[in-house]
Amino acid sequence: MITGFNANEEFPISQPIEVVASDLDFSPIHDRLQWYVDEGILSCANSVVMRGTDVLDFSCFGYMDLDSRAPLGKDAIYRMYSNTKIVTSVAAMQLQEQGKFKLDDPVSEYIPAFADMQVLKADAESVDDVEPASEPMRIRHILSHSAGLSYGFIEPDSLVDRAYAAAGIDILNDFSLTLEGLCDKLGGLPLAYQPGTRWRYSFATDVVARLVEVVSGARFDAYLKSHIFEPLGMTDTDFWVPPEKRDRFITMYAPTDLLDPMKPGLIKVDDPHDGTYTRERNLLSGGGGLVSTVQDYLAFIRMIVAGGTWQGEKVLEPETLALMRTNQLPEGVGVSFPMWDMPGTVFGLGFALKERLGEAEPEGMRNEYHWGGMAGTHSWMAPGPGITGLCMTQRMPGFWHPFSHEFRSLVYSITDGG
């Protein structure tokens, strides 16, 4: 029996972020992020820098809404999109710790829709040109985006994404599906490649979320609340924003020119008072459904940086986090998208991993682990120098945008993280 989510239960109050005094000058970061706002490239941004679990800087820039020009609040609520994936991966690895499944178990043992999967042939000219999967889709594969699934919109002209579109899978606009229903649809579509052989961004983490439901017996949001959010005091993290919190929910914008990320000009694409997050939804997307605040997400990141325990609450064992930061891809396979590449980057169990440095990249960036969200919510952790960065906005698309690269470079320079 899958249990529901009781929004009326007592819930701990999140604590304000305390900034530890230091002699470091973060004004270059502040000046640059303010420039992005002044130029009309971003409507807002925040910046958080940590050494260990100590916050050295927390600043906010810009506006909750460009029409009202209300200043961005420190307790503002953000659409986290794919930052949700790290939360979902942690939830799954809690269950793996408990022996509820093994990483090499076939997914079909828990979600029968993924039995007897078909794979597009290398020379396929239509979605009917398929062959049987050479091995099962395994849990390790869905945690590392190497299962052969796709998203249906990142490469819309590809055969596999056209098949997703024909099946009516539109996660950006259709929230009527449940996780179970989504998996049923995905199981009837061909894989883009043989499981475990390549990397492709996909619905894999939504499949992980359904796995959490099946293995735990709880609805996904209820599981997250009781096993992650409540222990860490994440009071504002959920899959929707109730009426009493909408004044803290940021308006989301898109650029007027999608092809030029540095061109000024923004248009509203999601309203905080009557938009897509103002009602409860059926699809509790483990790949991109959460909203959160800096305070909440920082508690989650601090738990990770601290080895799985924060303020006396153990969420994961240190050994489990070390495993999550271990490359799961075959030799020579890296992380890349049709529109950009991530040089020297591989993938673990929920995290992208900086394996090889590029020219002029600081040594401290080696082994950095990270991920971000499509609306511009970026987080990264550098275990070498012990530095963590969090920088968020509400710009669609805002993942891998120049502002996040500049923020990261400035953090390494200011903290001497290289």
Q: What is the pLDDT of residues 166-208, one digit of tens each?
A: 998 877 677 788 999 999 999 999 999 999 999 999 999 999 9
The confidence score (pLDDT) of residue 2 equals 36
- In the prediction, which pLDDT does 6 show? 36
pLDDT(3) > 80: no
Residue 12 pLDDT exceeds 60: no
Position 13 confidence tier, pLDDT thresholds 50, 70, 90? very low
Share of the chain above pLDDT 70, in %: 96
Say yes or no to pLDDT of 383 above 50.
yes
Taking the domains of the chain in order of start, what are their residue ranges?
Answer: 27-84+219-415, 90-216
CATH fold of 90-216 reads Beta-lactamase (3.40.710)
pLDDT at residue number 169: 87
How large a percentage of the chain has pLDDT more than 90?
88
Q: Are 381 and 370 in contact (CB under 8 A)?
A: yes
Question: Which one, of 38, 48, 57, 50, lies nearest residue 78 by Cα?
Answer: 48
Whether 382 shows a pLDDT value over 60: the answer reads yes
Domain over 27-84+219-415 is classified CATH 3.40.710.10: yes
What pLDDT, on the 0 to 100 scale, is given for residue 418? 63
* pLDDT of 269 over the 90 cut: yes
Confidence band (pLDDT; 50, 70, 90) for 153? confident
- Output the pLDDT for position 10: 39
CA 139 to chain centre: 18
* Mean pLDDT of all residues belonging to the chain: 93
Cβ atoms of 286 and 179 within 8 Å: the answer is: yes
pLDDT score for 274:
94
What pLDDT, on a 0 to 100 scale, did the predictor assign at position 175? 72
* pLDDT tens figures, 214-262: 999 999 999 999 999 999 999 999 999 999 999 999 999 999 998 899 9
Closest by CA to 294, choosing from 406, 405, 389, is 389
d(CA 289, CA 238) in angstroms, rounded, equals: 8
pLDDT tens for 82-132 read 999 999 999 999 999 999 999 999 999 999 999 999 999 999 999 999 999
> What pLDDT, on the 0 to 100 scale, is given for residue 143?
98
H, E, C per residue of the chain:
CCECCCCCCCCCCCCCCCECCCCCCCHHHHHHHHHHHHCCCCCEEEEEEEECCEEEEEEEEEEEECCCCEECCCCCEEECHHHHHHHHHHHHHHHHHCCCCCCCCEHHHCCHHHCCCEEECCCCCCCCCEEECCCCCEHHHHHCCCCCCCCCCCCCCCHHHHHHHHCCCCCCCCCCCCHHHHHHHHHCCCECCCCCCCCCCCCHHHHHHHHHHHHHCECHHHHHHHHHHHHHCCCCCECCCCHHHHHHECCEEEECCCCCCCCCCEEEEECCCCCCCCCCCCCCCCCCCCEEEHHHHHHHHHHHHCCCEECCEECCCHHHHHHHCCCCCCCCCCCECCCCECCCEEECCCCEEECCCCCCCCHHHCCCEEEEECCCEEEEEECCCCEEEEEECCECCCCCCHHHHHHHHHHHHHHCCC
pLDDT at 183: 97
| pLDDT grade for 399, boundaries at 50, 70 and 90 | confident
Do the Cβ atoms of 81 and 373 come closer than 8 Å? yes
